[in-house]
Amino acid sequence: MKLYTYFRSSAAYRVRIALALKGVPYDSVPIHLVRNEQASDAYLAVNPQGRIPALDVDGTTLVQSPAIIEFLEEVVPQPPLLPADPIERARVRAVAALIGCDIHPLNNLGPLRRLKAMGHAQGEIDDWIRHWIAEGLRAVEAMIGEGPFCFGDAPTLADVYLVPQLFNARRFDAPLEAYPRILAAEAACLALPAFRQAAPEAQPDAA
């Protein structure tokens, strides 16, 4: 497999975690978002949306991190990222969706560039980012379990989404001390080699 990625992209970070947890080898193809390499003709031929990540599987390109991770869950079922019980599976998916649909898009590069183009100062944009991170994480804190991970004794899809979002939160100096369950789940995740392997600072394009 070949993963088009950017070390600081939280969507790509999710996919890297899932690949590492499932022990799936891949070649990394860095696409530098700040340099706008995602808008190049070469990359648009890979993903017409011009977003990261994309996963090449034997010449077929998959896009959108939720779809890629669900694909990995289906073709590499062990270790599972979703519980067997339908109710528990829905609870895990709800946390992942809250992060992926309600928090992440509002602090993504495209909307932030649009806010700047509309005349907002960087301080206003940073306040916007921190506001939506806080709104989402307050809900996540109430929705996850007692640990050590978000939902029990092993990482799930919720953890795969949570850890990259916390990386983003720290980039923008969002306060996190009000979320002890979240921080405990993050600590449990970062103790695992798969999460450390997928971390931004461990990527070849982080230098």
CATH number of the domain residue 21 falls in? 3.40.30.10
| Domain end (from 33, 62, 79) | 79
The stretches in the chain having pLDDT less than 70 are: none
3-state secondary structure the chain: CEEEECCCCHHHHHHHHHHHHCCCCCEEEECCCCCCHHHCHHHHCCCCCCCCCEEEECCEEEECHHHHHHHHHHHCCCCCCCCCCHHHHHHHHHHHHHHHHHHHHHHCHHHHHHHHHCCCCHHHHHHHHHHHHHHHHHHHHHHCCCCCECCECCCCHHHHHHHHHHHHHHHCCCCCCCCHHHHHHHHHHHCCHHHHHHCHHHCHHHC
**Amino acid 112: pLDDT:** 80
Residue 61 located in a structural domain: yes
**Amino acid 95: pLDDT:** 98
Domain of 28 in residue numbering reads as 2-79
| Domain end (from 79, 102, 134) | 79
**Amino acid 147: pLDDT:** 86
74 and 111 belong to one structural domain: no
